Amino acid sequence: MNLLHLGWNSFLDEAYQEMKKEGLEPARVKQEHRGSYEVSSEQMTYMAALSGKFRFESDSREDLPAVGDWVLIAPQENQRAVIHYVLPRKSKFSRKAAGNTTEEQIIATNIDTVFLVNALNQDFNIGRIERYLVMAWESGANPVIVLSKADLAKSIEEKVEALEGIAIGVPIHVVSSATDTGINELTSYLSIGTTTALLGSSGAGKSTLINKLYGTDVQTVQDIREGDGKGRHTTTSRELIVLESGGVLIDTPGMRELQLWEASDMSHSFHDIESLAEGCHFRDCKHNGEPGCAVEEAIQVGELELRRFRNYQKFQRELSFLERQTNKKAQLEEKKKWKKLAGDRTRQNRR
């Protein structure tokens, strides 16, 4: 398989030339399994494991390969390989790992476009789309909103209009896999050498959409629940799919828990609120009863939706809490490292 069809580009080629080592060849991670990875190179597809040195030098999950990563492998017999390095990432879509641990979970890497898939049925949720937008902009990829199941929906124009107000400049496509509505519009994002990740909750229609874009059934599809329009998990793990017509798709499991990991710049997703805040009388205005607050005035006159402002505040609180937890974790790890070094010195002195 040609590397270009796997998503190879000039950014990766430059990084590869700097890290090029005899006997190692580039391959892309297609799927992650427990303790191993399915990777494809220009030659073939391998089942690969991490080298001992790689595993030893990896400090966190972020250092380990993820679906979409380009790695340098040493091919072995019986279609086996050993992963020695991960090439620098052009982009990555991350969330906070589910549960109480403060740890990053990488969903997909080296993506050019993110299809934010949301069904137009009962599961349509503007707040969830706002959250996906924040994370998509932070990833370094370009977000595209895909509103699926148009054949099952009502008031489509109203929903599109509502999204246009919160996703300024972001393309919005209304599609139906059942009637092929809007499918051809999505192919313009799938040129050779590009990678597109599909993200959305269970039942949004990601797997069905991939089957349409691929041209045949490569993903299993399940029916949604009639009561609330929500679906069951069809895709259970992240998977990279190479299209015969060009381009790469990354399918992801439905994510009901989508906690932010980082958002250094909220201006893409909440440009309207941050622009209004510049007009507040006080530079450190909290928009909570201060005199001359332009944000609260905009809410009162109907220029800014209260729901959207509350969501913005929720994201800010979430990120502040995450920053505190991350700093606390870093301090504990630093303390643990110095304690270990002190113990090593004590043992050496006793010899």
List residues bridging with 143 in a β-sheet: 114
235 is in an annotated binding site: no
320 is in an annotated binding site: no
The structure tokens listed for 281 are 């009388």
150 is in an annotated binding site: yes
Buried b (16+ CB within 10 A) or exposed e, 199-232: bbbbbbbbbbbbbbbbeeeebebeebeeeebbbe
245 three-class SS: coil
77 three-class SS: coil
205 is in an annotated binding site: yes
* Helix runs in the chain, H state only: 10-19, 52-57, 126-139, 156-166, 183-186, 206-214, 271-277, 294-300, 306-350
Read off the DSSP letter of residue 225.
P
265 is in an annotated binding site: no
Residue 188, Cα to own-chain centre: how many angstroms? 21
Rounded Cα–Cα distance for residues 150 and 165 (Å): 20
119 is in an annotated binding site: no
Q: Read out DSSP for 110-126?
A: S-SEEEEEEESSTT--H
254 is in an annotated binding site: no
Query: Are 62 and 103 contacting, i.e. CB atoms less than 8 angstroms apart?
Result: no
Among 345, 286, 240, smallest CA distance to 6 is for: 240
Rounded Cα–Cα distance for residues 213 and 299 (Å): 42
148 is in an annotated binding site: yes
337 is in an annotated binding site: no
Residue 47, Cα to own-chain centre: how many angstroms? 24
Rounded Cα–Cα distance for residues 169 and 70 (Å): 31
203 is in an annotated binding site: yes
List residues bridging with 61 in a β-sheet: none
Rounding to the nearest 10 degrees, give the CA dihedral for residues 231, 161, 259, 6.
70
The one-letter code for the residue type at 132 is Y
202 is in an annotated binding site: yes
Among 103, 98, 94, 85, smallest CA distance to 29 is for: 85
208 is in an annotated binding site: yes
140 is in an annotated binding site: no
330 is in an annotated binding site: no
285 is in an annotated binding site: yes
149 is in an annotated binding site: yes
151 is in an annotated binding site: yes
Q: What residue numbers does the annotated binding site for GTP cover?
A: 148-151, 200-208
User: Residues annotated as binding site?
Assistant: 148-151, 200-208, 280, 285, 287, 293
Annotated binding site for Zn(2+): 280, 285, 287, 293
